[in-house]
Copies of this chain bind each other. A is one copy, B any other.
Amino acid sequence: MAPLPESVVTYARKKLLDLVSIPSVSAEGRGLEQAAQAVAEMLRELGLEASLHPTNGAPVVFAEGGGTGPTILFYNHYDVQPADPLEDWASDPFTLLEKDGNLYGRGTHDDKGELVARLAALLWVKQEHGQLPFRVKFVVEGEEETGSPNLPGYVESHRELLKSDAVLWEAGGTDAKGRPQAYCGLKGILAVELRTKTAGYDLHSSYGAVVQNPIYRLSLAIASLRDNQGKVLIKGFYDQVRALSKVEADALKTLPDESAELAKIFGVKGYMGGVQGESFYHKLLAEPCVNVNGFHSGYGGPGSKTVLPAEAYAKLDFRLVPDQEPAEVFRLLQEHLQREGFEDIELSYLEAGEQPSRSDLSHPWVKTALEALREVYQKDPVLYINMAGSGPMHPFTDVLKAPVVGFGVGYPGSKVHSPNEHIRVADFEQGIVAIKRALEMFAARF
């Protein structure tokens, strides 16, 4: 395996510096057009045809080019999370800083560093082969950090254009022991709000003897949704859950058990249901769940205040697994609230939701990626049937019917979404090598 040429290293550093300097924060609606243009220009420099496709939100950068072999589609995004809280950054979030072997800046990992690593790998392949011995497509969106509201529709309406033999998902990295990770799916998500109003305005709490309390009502509703081990009690909730295939079940069994180590990091004494090892990963990755993200009502200041609040609300997310559908879960929740006598609880969508997705673990693209990772990292890669988080993968696996795998340049300390986001220079460079090897190997075997 040829060493990473200095020219590729220099290229990657320069492009990452350029992209990090554009504050393309989708939640704040700034820098998006500029970042999209910059990405399109970088793709053109590599000889691809790139253009901006308008959506109802930020444009999608689409690009295509290369040779005639298999088509690999790269999904990435040019938007980043807000930099807040600014005072917790040791350096300017929008100025790339190399220090102590790390590259600091908002988006260095999520997702500008990942995108640049792919561009650098393509540059290197071109340098070595004269041209790309495969075909590439890029879908680089600008709304990933705000739930990709326009991506499913975009993929749906461009399914012929986006047709591919393999998809490389946006990001990945190594685990705490330096093992490369790969994953072939994401959980779906449904985000809702529950709200109840029991009086016209806040009353003196002495009337709580006769007037219903909204906190009690909302507490009761929340308590009705799951049991103490996290099992969801909504009728029909598990009906659409597809059983794991043998390959998936086997993959879960081979995961190294990091549950005890994670418990220490999280500061928890144990997990719901006492899970560990295989049962931990089954619960985390293969089972859907409901989370309460927030609950607010009434007085929260120092001491006491004898108030009977008029209103209470809670925000919840459901994490879904194949073949659950967000809209169907919303309907089941609605029915549950009616059946259990919670007509006073108002249910509404916070986001349209994302469908769960999982690729076939035995697809040649997945196998090739794992082989490339093993070769480059000299360690057995860890394969996850899906991550516990969510993202817009479903249109790719289920509309384009393409196999998807994700791996990349991060590590557990990358501080994604937080101040001082960074990647390690060594991971960045090793990631470029791994991408190049996976592409070359897949093209050679296809």
Considering only residues 253-303 of chain A, those with a C-beta below 8 Å from chain B are 259, 266-268, 271-272, 275, 280, 283-285, 287, 289-300, 303
Count A interface residues, CB 8 Å: 72
Contact of A206 among B206, B259, B313, B388 (CB under 8 A): B388
A368 to B390: give the CA distance in the assembly, Å.
74
* Nearest Cβ on chain B to A219's Cβ, whole angstroms: 4
Query: Is B293's CB under 8 angstroms from A298's CB?
Result: yes
Query: Is A293's CB under 8 angstroms from B289's CB?
Result: no
Q: Check if A332 is an interface residue, CB within 8 A of chain B.
A: no
Q: Check if A200 is an interface residue, CB within 8 A of chain B.
A: yes
A87 to B319: give the CA distance in the assembly, Å.
45
Q: Check if A436 is an interface residue, CB within 8 A of chain B.
A: no
Closest chain B residue to A299 by CB distance?
B294
Chain B residues within 8 Å of A314, by CB: 215
Query: Is A218's CB under 8 angstroms from B219's CB?
Result: yes
Q: Check if A106 is an interface residue, CB within 8 A of chain B.
A: no
Query: Is B304's CB under 8 angstroms from A267's CB?
Result: no
Q: Check if A199 is an interface residue, CB within 8 A of chain B.
A: yes
* Nearest Cβ on chain B to A277's Cβ, whole angstroms: 12
Given the known inter-chain contacts A201-B267, A266-B211, please indicate yes or no for A387 contacting B206, CB distance below 8 A: yes
A308 to B315: give the CA distance in the assembly, Å.
11
Query: Is A226's CB under 8 angstroms from B216's CB?
Result: yes
Chain B residues within 8 Å of A268, by CB: 198-200, 211-212
Query: Is B293's CB under 8 angstroms from A309's CB?
Result: yes
Contact of A294 among B207, B226, B297 (CB under 8 A): B297
Query: Is B216's CB under 8 angstroms from A223's CB?
Result: yes
Q: Check if A91 is an interface residue, CB within 8 A of chain B.
A: no
Contact of A292 among B199, B216, B280, B285 (CB under 8 A): B216
A444 to B271: give the CA distance in the assembly, Å.
75
Chain B residues within 8 Å of A303, by CB: 350-351
Chain B residues within 8 Å of A298, by CB: 292-295, 315
